[in-house]
Amino acid sequence: GIAGRCVMRLLATAIAARPLLVPRAAPAALLDVEAVASVHTSLGDLSSTLAFADQAGNLAGALFPLSLPPYLLFLYFLGYEGNRCPKTAQFGAQFLLLFVVSTVLTGIVTKGTYSSSLADVDWLHGGAEALLTTSNLFLGFGLAGALSSGKMEPAGAGMEGTRPQRYAALALAVTVFGSAFAGPQLGVEAHSPFLFGAGALPADLLAASPLPLHAEPANALSIPTWAIHFSSVFEYLFAMGMVWQMAALSGNERWKGLTWGMLPLHASGVAACTYHFFYNSPDLSFLVLLQAALTLAGNTTCAVAAARLASSNGWMPSMLNPFDQSSAAASPSAAASDPPAAAAISGAAAAPNAAKLVVLTALASYGVKYGELLLGPVPYLSGVEGAVAGVLLCFGFPALTAARFRKLSAQEATPSGGVPSPSA
């Protein structure tokens, strides 16, 4: 199908780009030869190259690559033409694969050059995460466009309309990949801040503050890197709300199941932010294992939810057989009819939600980076206290999100129930 060809093309592009990036910057000078030689390619040792995997041992390193097959299944089912998923949103989901590639490449540079974890190398960390937030942006803007227009994607539409987005996203990916290998040659150090630490409060101002502020460790996230993380979390929350609204636009309640399927991935993002809140403490490295487990669980639940959605729209298992032509005749692309006419969904306009995103991201980034300086020993908790605090943060916010959608589900089951706002 269209989705399968797009995924394979994207993977081919990512794989083909990998050897082309290295010769640009003398690999022998860029990475220690012995460090490069120690990088294994077997599945069991893939943890040596994956982002954050060294923080929690080989189990987390194994879970991250194991989460890729269910995500590819999710892309396949989401892209089934009967779903009429907005193509920009579909491309956003596909672009996440380049984020995966970026964590591998930046992880190699981090280990070979700085002998450190990607989470502790701010400029590489922020650059890699920028691809994740870009993926979520395309996902959200694609859904917002369909909801604002009140129309589903035209039947049989291809990915041609996403060409400008693809070029822009590819340019960003090339910039991230290129800077990862060129940075060490230019003298960029392990704790150099992402985007030169733009937006940081002056050190003199903090030193003159009458408030009892504790000193930050060298591996503390910069304002731009915190902004990338919180932007990704909020974008994904907005996208979950918009996926929920797709049920009203399409007349298919299975879209709501996809929102529930996205919940573990939301929790995975919160787990990453929690780990960074505690300054990537080795004593709380279980949070990385938890993040990996939630990623695997979330990719699996999204794949199941997308399969249920595709099945409700005409997908059949026989379509997996390339030699079975009977399923081609049943394809909805030629005869798909529009769902009942729907008005534009309120609260889905891109501009207001973008403004909310900017405000929320700024408040969260400054609030966490400088607010935790007032918390005394809390960011340095370890042992049982640190574990309890980490678990409460990881699951507390997703629990509130789940309660919100449960409440919306109950409201919509009554005659007076309304359609939720994506940012409510």
> What is the pLDDT of the chain when averaged over all its residues?
82
Instruction: Give the list of residues 6+ apart from residue 170 with CB closer than 8 angstroms, or none.
Output: 13
pLDDT at 63: 83
Instruction: Give the list of residues 6+ apart from residue 87 with CB closer than 8 angstroms, or none.
Output: 142, 153, 157, 158, 159, 161, 162
The whole-angstrom separation of Cα 395 and Cα 237 is 15
Tokens of 187: 């003298």
Nearest alpha-carbon partner for 235 in 204, 268, 214, 266 = 266
Residue 123 banded pLDDT, cuts 50, 70, 90: very high
Rg (CA), the chain: 22
Residue 330 banded pLDDT, cuts 50, 70, 90: low
pLDDT at 128: 94
The 3-class SS string of 339-399 reads CCCCCCCCCCCHHHHHHHHHHHHHHHHHHHHHHHHHCCCHHHCCHHHHHHHHHHHHHHHHH
Structure-derived torsion over alpha carbons of residues 188, 194, 199, 201, reported in degrees to the nearest 10: -60
Question: Does residue 284 carry a pLDDT above 80?
Answer: yes
- The pTM of the full predicted model, rounded to 2 decimals, is 0.81
pLDDT at 353: 86
Tokens of 362: 């700024």
pLDDT at 4: 45
Q: Is 125 helix (H, G, I), strand (E, B) or coil?
A: helix
Question: Does residue 26 carry a pLDDT above 80?
Answer: no
Specify burial of residue 68 (Cβ count, 10 A radius: 0-12, 13-18, 19+). Answer: middle
Averaged pLDDT for residues 382-408: 96
The whole-angstrom separation of Cα 80 and Cα 367 is 42
Nearest alpha-carbon partner for 80 in 241, 306, 321 = 306
Q: What is the largest CA-CA distance in the chain?
A: 75
